[in-house]
């Protein structure tokens, strides 16, 4: 995809409360809450990437993984001028 893909990969993202839920064998609650947060923040994330990159975001996707503790945000940018 040449210069059209921007990926943010972060580790160590879970809070103490989320870690407790994961250890208590209720990881689905953590995934659902993270998903709701990312849906709520999508417009801000896209806006920030567009402002910082000077490019339009054509697509945004977000995924949280449990074990290892990783979160991935993918931005597909529209072709440059």
DSSP 66: T
* Per-residue tokens: 50: 């567009």
Nearest to 34 by CA among 12, 13, 7, 11: 13
Percent of the chain past pLDDT 90, that is, above it, reads 81
What average pLDDT is seen over the chain? Answer: 93
Answer yes or no: is pLDDT of 33 > 80. yes
Answer yes or no: is pLDDT of 72 > 80. yes
> What is residue 1's predicted lDDT score, i.e. its pLDDT?
65
Range of the domain at 65: 5-77
Number of domains in the chain: 1
């Amino acid at each position: 995809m040449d210069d059209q893909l921007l990926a943010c990969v972060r580790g160590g993202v879970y809070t103490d409360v989320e870690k407790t839920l994961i250890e208590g064998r209720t990881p689905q609650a953590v995934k659902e809450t993270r998903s709701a947060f990312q849906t709520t923040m999508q417009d801000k994330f896209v806006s920030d990437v567009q402002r910082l990159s000077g490019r339009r975001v054509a697509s945004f996707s977000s995924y949280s993984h449990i074990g290892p503790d990783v979160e991935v945000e993918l931005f597909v940018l529209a072709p440059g001028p």
